[in-house]
Structures are given as C-alpha cells and as structure tokens.
Amino acid sequence: MTEKSDEIEKCEICNEPLKDDDLCLFDINLGTVHAGCCGPERETYVNLETGEPLGDDEPLPVPFPFSEVK
C-alpha cells in the first residue's frame, strides 16, 4: 500500500506549487506542470505513440485542473 505524501507538488518548470485550480499539462519527462509554463509552439508537444512532434492536423493537449491529478 502506498502512503500519500504530504509533500507539496511543484511545477518542474517554474518550481511554484501546483494548486487545485491551476491548469496543467503532463510532460513525459517532467510530470505534471503548469500549462502556462509550456511553450506555445507546436514542436514542444509530441504524439505519445510515435514520439514525433504533433502534426498540423493533430490537436494540442487539453489542459486539466491539478485537482484531477490527485
């Protein structure tokens, strides 16, 4: 059984705490980060199946509230 840590999770990009109402994205290398800390360029997002940058016809990831991670 895994115990839930009382440690505050932080965005690995800006090092600020992640709050329940913060919009987030999942970075394959860093984990959950603030959506606003991610680059707006399409090349910063990859297709999780191929690892290639998203094509023009693929949708960008949809941010989710950090509260959904818990």
Q: What is the mean pLDDT of residues 56-67?
A: 90
* DSSP of 13-52: TT-PBP-TT-EEEEETTTEEEEGGGS-SSGGG-B-TTT-S
For the chain, domain boundaries: 23-68
Instruction: Quickly tell me which residue has 């680059």 as its tokens.
Output: 39
Greater confidence, 1 or 63?
A: 63
Q: State pLDDT tens for residues 28-58.
A: 888 999 999 987 776 678 887 888 888 888 8
Q: How confident is the model at residue 1 (pLDDT cuts 50, 70, 90)?
A: very low
pLDDT score recorded for residue 39? 78
d(CA 28, CA 5): 21
Tokens of 64: 């989710």
Greater confidence, 3 or 63?
A: 63
